[in-house]
Amino acid sequence: MIPAAIIFDFDGVIADSEVRANRTLAESLTAIGLPTTYEECLRDYCGHNWQETERRIVARLGRSLPTDFRAQHRARARERFAEGFSPVPGAPAFLDRLGTLPRAIASSSSPDYIAMSLDRFGLAHHFGGHVYSADGWDRGKPFPDIYLAAAKGLGVEPAQCLAIEDSPIGAAAAISAGMIVVGFCGAGHIVDRAAHGDMLRRVGVHHVALRFEEVAALA
């Protein structure tokens, strides 16, 4: 199928950010008395929006989070990301070669963070107003809502869209939306790419790509 549009997850697909993000979350949780490792954050929270992440943290913690937790965590994250982070290898070149093919971002991250990152990478012009965030939504990924919103915004039927996702949670959302889904294994947080690809296949992705050159063959 030649897609009528491509919808990208953001972290782990465009931004190579998951290592910093999950190490920072582990630090923030440990600081409030919930010892948490980087690996546990990747396993338990990766792909979810803040609302679902908070629900999961509270269930583990057994009490509400401190009222300033998210603000403190964001401040810590800003410090970590100010140290420098980059696009996923191959993502800028892939975007450059898409020409006029419609594309959007469908992410669990906050709109401000996505905008800051796109500006940092010099990639904002590729998406225009088609950046969709499930931050603040009660139903984030793995529900299909954010992918359906992105397809609607582009004016393209979901079945005509190719979605690119690195997390099982995100892949499940795109599959539920009725899209053709590429499970992407090219970001820095994925150490065992073969095992991660197998995990994404079990979720039901239609293709697995270890690098953007392989995605290009599908688009």
Q: One of 11, 16, 145, 166 is an active-site residue; which one?
A: 11
Predicted confidence (pLDDT) at residue 201 exceeds the cutoff of 80: yes
Active-site residue, 16 included = no
In 10 A of CB 100, how many CB atoms? 5
Is 68 known to be catalytic?
no
Place 168 in a pLDDT band, splitting at 50, 70 and 90.
very high
What mean pLDDT comes out for the span 140-156? Answer: 98
Res 219: pLDDT: 81
User: pLDDT at position 1, please?
Assistant: 72
Cβ atoms of 151 and 5 within 8 Å: the answer is yes
Domains annotated for the chain, with CATH where assigned, are 5-17+85-216 (3.40.50.1000), 18-82 (1.10.150)
d(CA 134, CA 50): 9
